């Protein structure tokens, strides 16, 4: 039978999705309780049928080729639609839901994630949420460790961020524009102010998120990263930064969106600067979003609605 008449099977698509997610044919085989030779043969046969190399194989596992990344998007859509048919006509229960999100340290990201999980109709799911460094967010989405990434850009970092995204085959989708705010403890004397200026912050410890080896000003999560500060502390997670806001009366600069449920001891005060923060999500340019990813973005938009923002996504 010629290659043109050979059909791609749903089973092969299931296998391919798991191989891409695990980054290993052996790990995917173990997860699906099939032998490694069976999984390897299925992937080679799939590549033969589509007439393109989908996987790059090395001693450290497998990664997707450019064609493989595009194919993965269509594979997810086909499998998702097949599962919806089975649920509707065969009475099958909803399948295991999968979604990975990597983001800078924003409470609205977590709030939306909580809403998504609570609203999930799946008996089984496997979600991941990584609050991490800017460079790692881009790498997570590029390598498909996460389907979505959430980060900010502004006039200062936009050219650098956009070039890195283009080189990685990713696209930035704007969600909203926000006025910069400082996050501080409710007990901080500045918490009683309607607005604060940079002069007000001159003697206050500045708290920033550490960017590791890629500690360029362009990858900072906070605007005005090039301004010097007499007192600066770098941290790696939101819990620590909030504890330092309370313990040391420190501040950080962010969007102004804060969750009273998740962060009851922290308040947001407008910062009097001529800047805007553009928050958006990133994904692969050639891969359609899964239904679960679209649901998550709907929750993000629902969370930020009601704040003084300019929604643009």
CATH of 178-277, one of 3.40.50.1820, 3.10.105.10, 3.40.190.10, 3.30.1700.10: 3.40.190.10
Beta strand 266-270 pairing with 206-209: unpaired
Residue 313: the pLDDT is 59
Residue 171: the pLDDT is 95
Give the residue ranges of the chain where pLDDT is below 70: 1-6, 87-88, 91-97, 262, 308-309, 311-313
Token pair listed for 120: 């999930």
- From 142, 153, 159, select the one nearest 220 (Cα to Cα): 153
| CATH T-level fold of 99-173+281-311 | D-Maltodextrin-Binding Protein; domain 2 (3.40.190)
Q: Concatenated DSSP letters for 143-182?
A: TTS-SEEEEEE-TTTHHHHHHHHHHTTEEEEEEEEE--EE
Residue 246: the pLDDT is 93
Residue 250: the pLDDT is 93
Q: Give this prediction's pTM.
A: 0.74
Residue 212: the pLDDT is 85
Residue 87: the pLDDT is 66
Residue 59: the pLDDT is 85
Residue 95: the pLDDT is 58
Residue 3: the pLDDT is 47
Residue 286: the pLDDT is 75
| CATH T-level fold of 3-88 | Arc Repressor Mutant, subunit A (1.10.10)
**Domains 3-88 and 178-277 equal at CATH topology level:** no
Q: Where are the domains of the chain?
A: 3-88, 99-173+281-311, 178-277
Residue 130: the pLDDT is 92
Q: Concatenated DSSP letters for 62-129?
A: EEE-HHHHHHHHHHHHHHHHHHHHHHHHH-PPPPPEEEEEEE-S-HHHHHHHHHHHHH---SSEEEEE
């Amino acid at each position: 039978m010629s290659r043109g008449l050979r059909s791609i099977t749903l089973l092969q698509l299931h296998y391919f999705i798991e191989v891409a997610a695990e980054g290993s044919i052996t790990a995917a085989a173990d997860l699906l309780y099939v032998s490694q030779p069976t999984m390897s043969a299925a992937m080679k046969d799939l590549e033969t049928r589509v007439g393109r190399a989908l996987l790059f194989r090395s001693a450290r596992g497998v990664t997707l080729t450019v064609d493989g990344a595009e194919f993965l998007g269509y594979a997810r859509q086909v499998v998702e639609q097949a599962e919806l048919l089975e649920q509707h006509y065969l009475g099958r229960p909803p399948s295991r839901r999968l979604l990975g999100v990597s983001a800078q340290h924003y409470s609205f990201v977590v709030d939306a994630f909580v809403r998504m999980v609570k609203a999930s109709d799946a008996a089984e799911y496997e979600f991941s949420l990584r609050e991490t460094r800017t460079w790692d967010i881009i790498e997570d989405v590029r390598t498909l460790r996460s389907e979505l990434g959430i980060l900010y850009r502004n006039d200062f970092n936009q050219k650098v961020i956009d070039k890195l995204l283009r080189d990685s085959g990713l696209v930035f989708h704007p969600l909203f524009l926000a006025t910069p705010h400082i996050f501080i403890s409710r007990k901080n004397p500045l918490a009683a102010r309607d607005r604060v200026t940079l002069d007000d912050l001159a003697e206050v410890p500045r708290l920033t998120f550490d960017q590791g080896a890629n500690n360029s000003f362009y990858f900072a999560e906070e605007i005005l990263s090039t301004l010097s500060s007499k007192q600066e502390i770098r941290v790696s997670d939101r819990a620590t930064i909030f504890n330092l806001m309370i313990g040391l009366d420190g501040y950080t600069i962010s969007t102004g969106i804060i969750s009273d449920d998740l962060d009851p001891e922290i308040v947001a005060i407008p910062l009097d600067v001529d800047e805007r923060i553009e928050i958006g999500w990133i994904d692969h340019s050639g891969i359609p979003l899964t239904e679960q990813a679209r649901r998550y973005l709907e929750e993000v938009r629902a969370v930020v609605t009601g704040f003084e923002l300019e929604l643009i996504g």
